[in-house]
Amino acid sequence: MTTIASVSNTDAYYLLHEGTQYQSYQFLGAHFEERDGCKGVNFAVWAPNAKEVNVSGSFNGWDGSHHAMAMNEGIWTLFIPELEEGTLYKYEIVTMDGDRYLKSDPYAFHSEVRPETASIVTSLEHYEWQDGVWQENNSSNQHLQQPLLIYEVHLGSWKRKEDGSFYSYVDFADELIDYVLERGYTHIELMPLAEHPLDSSWGYQVTGYYSVTSRFGSPKDFMYFVDQCHQKGLGVIMDWVPAHFCKDVHGLSRFDGTHLYEYADSRKGENPTWGTYIFDYGRPEVVSFLISNALFWLDMYHLDGLRIDAVYSLLTLNFERPEAECIRNEQGGEENLEGIAFLQKLNAVVFARYPDVLMIAEDSSSYPGVTTPVAYGGLGFNYKWNLAYTWHTLEYMKKNQTERSGQEDRLTQSLLGIRDENYVLPYSHDEMDPPTKSLLGKMSGEDNWQRFANLRALYTYTMGHPGKKLLFMGNEFGQMDDWDSEGSLEWELLQFEEHQHFAEFVKQMNHFYIAEKALWELDFEQNGLTSLNADDKEDGLVILLRKSKTNNEQLIIINNFKPETHEGYRLGVEEPGRYQEVFNSDKPEFGGSGMTNANMLETQEWSCQGNPYSIMVNIPPLAGVIFKYIPSEG
């Protein structure tokens, strides 16, 4: 059972102001206490520049004058007896200028369902976790050498009830978990869960960093969901948003009448593209707030990882800023030195407490060392989304087959940098957001058969390419239209044979990936990959050799990105033995043409493509075929 420990105010306040208080949620916010035999709630909020702070709520008719707080070291506190769980409250802030307004609690554990904005007195104690086996089995810190196959989900639009209302966390536990596991995924990644006022922001403009969104139920309902995931063998990753926050008046913006959480200089403190405020990473209390929040989700909800959104915007002072408005740091560069220091501190603290957790950077920059440990000068993440891979592969796949000749380097240039970072290869929600079209909608082709074949070929290539994998919901059965975040996935498509075939292809491909060590054990080692004729300008073929750690398992992945077939194609190989076809995206059960290699292939002492031996293979059109090496006996 996870508990919130009692802390000394003197020590806690000191560490908060030093920027080293990493569990500030244990004393800030609303906490049940007993004083002199009287049970009640202690409220505490950081608002050093306020003239007056009161607690206003459903218990006093929203008249804060009855419950004035006292300040010590910038922290306002008040114990109110006899309050019960579920009590609604806000902080009534009176600024030095005499303005008066209501603010939600930055550390609230629960909030009203939007559009209402009050915080709710809530205890996170006394949930009895049953995931001990999961926690014990996931403490090896060997995930770089393990399969990682992530299903990205926006809970609000995965599936809705017939009346259009949301599923609950309990509903998702009953339906979503088994669906994801049946399809072979190792982890589910949930788009931002922290409370947010606007559905269409998808959760990326947060008002309640410590409050799991009430759209789908209570905090303990979400604990139940995570617990069920773990008991059934599924890891849970959350999108986390420390790069910016929305300007809604009840949130963090100008919290005590001053720029408390955001930079005061609007050039640093505002993101004009997103219309949001940027955290002041140089303020110790803000650093404590954010790092405590990261640990909070790991501590209290047992999450297995955080995907950190918009890392590039933390690294530079001039993210999407017009050149005429660019600013410099004290060293004359464009780097946000405080943002970089925050990320390094974040990862150092998180890994010191949770060495096995996943810290994944969504970073579109070329900043070096994102997954290099902090001790060696890096940012300290253990994974980075390879967005360049996504962009280049999709640009290639959009091209008509007649335009692809000589363009294969769009696919293969990523092979040159597999050791630069520890990469996740993502086909995320950004590739489904209108008006970009779904993945299937991006595929070129003269008809639906070619479009599906192209997507199967792309998926097979991605499975063979070094790096962990992520796929956004709906792409596993070939959603046709853009993703509608205010509706539901197009589940009705599964009544059609071509979508049934495609869903079966993705399911079998995922399970094949999990079973084959050669596809993930040496993802970030140069000796785990060899490119065989990897840039054929005429045939449109990209051929990879993947190996396991012991070299006992070898797979040849042949990818054909043109509609022509290749019967009796001679392929050079390194060692003598036999090769067996073990996966083929062109199988009829996947919707393919059925061109396969049914017989075991024996190597011949016929040098080809720089290798001493070769085999003769049949390569179907617009397809990926995988062969497994079986060494010669003796």
* Strand pairing report for 187-190 and 194-195: unpaired
Catalytic site includes residue 199: no
- Helices 284-301 + 219-231 axis angle, to 10: 60
Q: What letter represents residue 30's amino acid?
A: A
What φ, ψ does residue 307 adopt, rounded to 5°? -100, 115
CA dist 415 and 530 (Å) reads 9
**Dihedral angle sign, alpha carbons of residues 165, 171, 173, 178:** negative
What φ, ψ does residue 178 adopt, rounded to 5°? -65, -35
CA distance to 135, 234, 354, 418, per residue, from 357 (Å): 11, 14, 6, 22
CA distance to 193, 376, 443, 606, per residue, from 342 (Å): 22, 16, 40, 58
Catalytic site includes residue 447: no
Annotated catalytic residue within 362, 476, 516, 581? 362
Q: Which neighbouring-strand residues pair with 79?
A: 42
* Cβ-count burial 421-449 (b if 16+ within 10 Å, e if not): bbbbbbbbbebbeeeebbbbbbbbbeeeb
User: Helix or strand or coil: residue 287?
Assistant: helix
Two structure tokens written together for 84 = 């019960």
CA dist 531 and 525 (Å) reads 14
- 272-278, long-range: CB < 8 A, 24+ apart: 272/320, 272/321, 273/320, 274/205, 274/244, 275/246, 275/247, 276/205, 276/244, 276/245, 276/246, 276/247, 277/244, 277/245, 277/246, 277/247, 277/252, 277/253, 278/243, 278/244, 278/313
* Strand pairing report for 601-602 and 577-584: antiparallel
Annotated catalytic residue within 152, 262, 299, 309? 309
Which residue bears the tokens 């909030």?
Answer: 111
Q: Cα 632 to chain center, whole Å?
A: 43
Query: Tell me, what DSSP letter sits at residue 238?
Result: E
Q: Pick the closest to residue 121 from 89, 77, 81 (CA basis).
A: 89
Greatest alpha-carbon pair distance for the chain in Å reads 92
Q: Which residues are the active-site residues?
A: 309, 362
